[in-house]
Amino acid sequence: MIVNPFVVFFAAIFTNNMIFSNFLGMCSFIAVSSDIKTSIGLGQAVTFVLAITAPINYLLYHYVLVPFGLEYLRYIVFIVSIAAFVQLVEMIVERSFPALYQSLGIFLPLITVNCAILGVSLFMTIRNYNLITSTLYGLGSGLGWMLAIVALAGIKKRMKMSAVPEGLQGPGITLIITGIMALAFIGFSGIVQIS
């Protein structure tokens, strides 16, 4: 099946949003969403890492693993390459954007274990995307993740003064909000569709 790369790109942002349709990358989504500026920063970092690791893992998969018949290694190879590139990103951010580095704190290295990143690499091989589609899929997923976390941070900010029942404070109410947001995103589902 030939898919239009741009359809995939937009689908990754709206209809097949990593968070709202797959519930991937929830850990930092819940933990870093209390401040809009920080969530934009983390969103940028995730987008950046996704846009880089998607094509790299594509090349690794199709030009190294497939020719040698080692497809079964992809989980570990993807994880290792993601870990290495996150380190690289961390060094670059530390050097060039100290303020961002500070506000991200521990969450920058934690991107390594953000399952949305591994998810993108695995989905793109399962769905047989080509290089361009994979790259746009990675970029789109990142932007979609960023959209979701920034929106959540915005909602949380507005809710600061509201009286949340004690047992639901913190992650509890955040998960409920996320569920409602996911419902709202279903509204996009007629626009574009990828499996």
Partner 1 sequence: MEKILTTLLIFSLFTGFLAFLLTLAKKTIGNYGIMKVTINEETEIEMEGGDTLLSGLTEEKIFIPSACGGKGSCGYCKVTVESGGGEILPTEFGYVTPEERELGVRLSCQLKVKEPIAISIPEELFNVKEFHPTVTAITDLTPNIKHLIFTFPQGEEISFKAGQYVQLRAPKYPGNHEEVFRAYSIASSPTEHNKLELIIGLVPDGICSTYVHKHLSVGDEVAMTGPYGDFYYQESTREILMVAAGTGMAPILSILHQLKAMNSERRAIFYFGARHEEDLFFLERMKEFESDLISFEFIPSLSKPHRETDWKGQLGRVTTCLQRDLMDPCEREAYLCGSPRMIDSIVEVLIEKGIPEEFIYYDKFS
Give min distance, CB of 91 to partner 1, in A: 5
129-158 residues near partner 1, rule: CB under 8 A: none
- Our finding on whether 66 is near partner 1 (CB under 8 A) is no
Q: Which is nearer to partner 1, 92 or 183 (CB)?
A: 92
- Our finding on whether 105 is near partner 1 (CB under 8 A) is yes
x/- letters, 170..189, toward partner 1 (CB under 8 A): --------------------
The only residue of 73, 132, 147, 155 in contact with partner 1, by rule CB under 8 A: 73
x/- letters, 10..49, toward partner 1 (CB under 8 A): ----------------------------------------
In SS3 terms, the chain reads as CCCCHHHHHHHHHCCCCHHHHHCCCHHHHHHCCCCHHHHHHHHHHHHHHHHHHHHHHHHHHHHHHCCCCCHHHHHHHHHHHHHHHHHHHHHHHHHHCHHHHHHHCCHHHHHHHCHHHHHHHHHHHHCCCCHHHHHHHHHHHHHHHHHHHHHHHHHHHHCCCCCCCHHHCCHHHHHHHHHHHHHHHHCCCCCCCCC
- Our finding on whether 91 is near partner 1 (CB under 8 A) is yes
- Our finding on whether 59 is near partner 1 (CB under 8 A) is no
Q: Which is nearer to partner 1, 9 or 61 (CB)?
A: 61
Q: Which is nearer to partner 1, 80 or 191 (CB)?
A: 80
Give min distance, CB of 89 to partner 1, in A: 10
Stretch that binds partner 1, among 41-49, 93-101, 108-116, 126-134 (CB under 8 A): 93-101
Residues that bind partner 1 (CB under 8 A): 60, 64-65, 68-70, 73, 76-77, 80-81, 84, 87-88, 91-92, 94-95, 98-99, 102, 105
